Structure 1
Amino acid sequence: MPPTGPVAPPAVIELRQYTLRPGRRDELIELFDREFIEPQEAVGAAVLGQFRDLDDPDRFVWLRGFPDMATRHRALTDFYGGPVWAEHGPQANDTMRDSDDVLLLRPEPHPEPHPEPHSGLPSEPVGSGFTASPSARPPVGAPAPDRFVAATVWSFPPAYDGVALIRDGLLPVLRDTGPAPFALLATEPARNTFPRLPVRTGENVAALFTSYADEAAHRRHLAQVRAHPAARAEILPGIERVQAAAPQRLRLAPTGRSLS
């Protein structure tokens, strides 16, 4: 049985981006939301979010979490070796052209912006922001919500602490000018112990996720960030100077059963 109450925040998160055969994204989403969520959660995986990529009609993006790498190995072994994938996996695979664009990530704790006044204590770290609460998940067939999720993935040179630039520089500006991002993730360096599902290796990334009521709110937030004196003069140019490639910016629309 899948869990029904809140699940501990995941310590390992996969960001999975699938390129699908033309016109088949809705087919995969309907199959995924109907057949693949509860069986994965029953074996120890947490389905954290499923999205349509608004810039590519043949792109499906989703996130899956685990409490640790050992649980990841067991959960993937059980799910992909189990009866649900045996029955429905061929149909899912038939919708896909490529499913290997996968980043293995970990939550990057960051301090609360407002510690208790006069406490004399440092603020407490915040986790990934991705939480799995199966009881809050909409039922099969639920309409897609109006929410808009923005994600940015920065790539940095090997061993460079690029996530610190995001955590200590950009994150406070984002909080000051709009909704605080709900997740900051960094590369999980552990070896992929389930080679049947490849992940991108040799990566050093930081990924930031923020949720908005709609895309217009996102555009307003972006404009405020770019106009912020510190961001304009120091923070954004500093990130651009050290990044290894242009960042990937994802405009995402949650599916009907997405928790994020």
Structure 2
Amino acid sequence: MKALRCPVVELRQYTLRPGQRDVLIDLFDREFVEPQEDAGMTVLGQFRDVDDPDRFVWLRGFDGMPRRAQALESFYGGPVWQAHRDRANATMIDSDDVLLLRPASAHAGFPVPTAPRRAPGDPADVPPSRVLATIWYGDRPFDAAFVEFFERRVPSVLAEAGGELLAYLRSEHAPNTFPALPVRTGEEVFVFFARFTDEDRLDDHLRRLQESGSWGELLPTLSRGWARAPQHLRLAPTERSLLR
């Protein structure tokens, strides 16, 4: 499947004030999607964290680090953000949990969507799809040998357990070209995303992986360089999320 051209990706996790997630999502989906893309970014996906009612997770991509600086300066210095930033910021406790990533190989990026983004206010039924983001934390870089092993062995095992692998990325260590927005530094991560038709299928996938002999055979090699336990984000796409 052809991948989107997003050699730099931000995985952004926001901690919100209680009861404010839908306020931010309504504002974000209505006001912030097209202006960011007009500035030169790709808004890949917006999500409710299934396990935390006060967490908003989203992804955006850039055509390289220099273009990232230009796009962010254009959007955050522009009229749309200036008009709505106070209302957006009022929903947030923390917006600095940001991983800067890059596709782990030439074919590891997010696939080109097969359907257009929904228009604001589109009343059509939203499919109950779910996305699982798995974050592995390393005590060393996830190098080319690790990526080759992942590509050769992992996708088929995930598929056997009912998961559709979408993309897999690793840390981008280039200097932050827009310091006004902090990113997490000094970490080695490998993040992969899988899609499911609904929450039951996602949970069944996790159960089947735990019981899978094939997965058990892979884990000693995959976990050899882990610095701590993996993180799983069970994500529900918002109404206008491109990734769903």
Same fold, TM exceeding 0.5?
yes
What residue is the counterpart of 1:93 in the other structure? 89
Which ranges in structure 1 are unaligned for 5 or more consecutive residues? 1-5, 110-124
Q: 1:187 aligns with which of 155, 171, 174?
A: 171
Equivalents in 2 of 1:140, 1:94: separation in Å? 22
Corresponding position: 1:222 with 2:202 = no
What residue is the counterpart of 2:136 in the other structure? 154
Q: Which moved more, 1:63-72 or 1:168-177?
A: 168-177
What residue is the counterpart of 2:49 in the other structure? 53
Amino acid at match of 2:201: A
Check whether the contact 1:43–1:75 (CA below 8 A) recurs between aligned residues: yes
What residue is the counterpart of 2:226 in the other structure? 243
Give SS of 1:51's match.
strand
Give SS of 1:19's match.
strand
Change in 2 beyond 3 A, CA 1:211/1:223: same
Structure-1-length-normalised TM-score: 0.85
What residue is the counterpart of 1:201 in the other structure? 185
Change in 2 beyond 3 A, CA 1:132/1:70: farther
Change in 2 beyond 3 A, CA 1:96/1:151: same
Q: 1:136 aligns with which of 104, 110, 116?
A: 116
Question: 1:203-247: CA deviations, max 9, x gaps?
Answer: 110111111111111222223333332321x31233344310111
**What is the alpha-carbon root mean square deviation over aligned residues?**
2.1
Cα deviation for residue 7 of structure 1 reads 9.7
What residue is the counterpart of 1:254 in the other structure? 237
Equivalents in 1 of 2:37, 2:112: separation in Å? 13
Amino acid at match of 2:136: W
Q: 1:62 aligns with which of 50, 58, 70?
A: 58
Which ranges in structure 2 are unaligned for 5 or more consecutive residues? none
Task: Give the length in aligned residue pairs.
Answer: 238
Equivalents in 1 of 2:170, 2:32: separation in Å? 26
Equivalents in 1 of 2:18, 2:215: separation in Å? 39
Check whether the contact 1:8–1:67 (CA below 8 A) recurs between aligned residues: no
Equivalents in 1 of 2:175, 2:104: separation in Å? 18
Equivalents in 2 of 1:91, 1:144: separation in Å? 26
Amino acid at match of 1:77: E
Q: 1:81 aligns with which of 77, 82, 91?
A: 77
Change in 2 beyond 3 A, CA 1:224/1:137: same
Structure-2-length-normalised TM-score: 0.90
Change in 2 beyond 3 A, CA 1:130/1:201: farther
Amino acid at match of 1:244: A
Corresponding position: 1:106 with 2:89 = no
Change in 2 beyond 3 A, CA 1:94/1:165: farther
Amino acid at match of 1:105: L
Amino acid at match of 1:78: S
What residue is the counterpart of 2:32 in the other structure? 36
Cα deviation for residue 176 of structure 1 reads 3.6
Equivalents in 1 of 2:151, 2:174: separation in Å? 22
Check whether the contact 2:3–2:110 (CA below 8 A) recurs between aligned residues: no
Cα deviation for residue 129 of structure 1 reads 2.1
Give SS of 2:164's match.
coil
Cα deviation for residue 31 of structure 1 reads 0.2
Amino acid at match of 2:134: T
Equivalents in 1 of 2:140, 2:204: separation in Å? 33
Cα deviation for residue 72 of structure 1 reads 0.5
Q: Which has the larger radius of gyration?
A: 1
Amino acid at match of 1:140: P
